Amino acid sequence: MSARILVVDDIPANVRLLEAKLAAEYFEVVSAASGKEALELIDKQIPDIVLLDVMMPEMDGFEVCARIRANPKTHFLPVVMVTALSDPSDRVRGLEAGADDFLTKPVNDLALFARVRSLVRLKMIMDEWRMREQTSGQFDLLGSNEPEVNDDRNAAVLLVESFAPAAQRVVQVLAKDNDTVEVTDNLAKAQELAAQKRYDLIITNIQVGGEDGLRLCSHLRSQEETRQVPILLIVEEFDMPRLIKGLDIGASDYLMKPIDPNELLARVRIQVRRRRYQDRLRANYERSLSLALTDSLTGLYNRRYAMRHLDGLMDRVKDSGKALSVLVCDLDRFKNVNDSYGHAAGDEVLKQFAQRATAAMRNFDMVARTGGEEFVCLLPDTDGQAALKVAERLCKRVADTAMKVEGAPNDELMVTVSIGLAATTKVMPGEELLKIADAALYRAKQSGRNQVMADPSALL
Catalytic residues: 373
Q: Partners of 331 in the beta sheet?
A: 417
Residue 247's alpha-carbon distances to 158, 214, 244, in angstroms, are 19, 10, 5
Residue 187's alpha-carbon distances to 162, 164, 180, 249, 319, in angstroms, are 10, 15, 20, 16, 43
What 3-state DSSP class applies to 417?
A: strand
What is the secondary structure of 151-174 as a DSSP string? Answer: --SS-EEEEE-S-HHHHHHHHHHH
What is the secondary structure of 311-364 as a DSSP string? Answer: HHHHHHHHHH---EEEEEEEETTHHHHHHHH-HHHHHHHHHHHHHHHHHHS-TT
Cβ(360)–Cβ(388) below 8 Å: no
The pair phi, psi for residue 204, each rounded to 5°, is -140, 140
Q: Is the dihedral of CA 49, 70, 268, 363 positive or negative?
A: negative
Neighbouring CB atoms inside 10 A of 63's CB total: 15
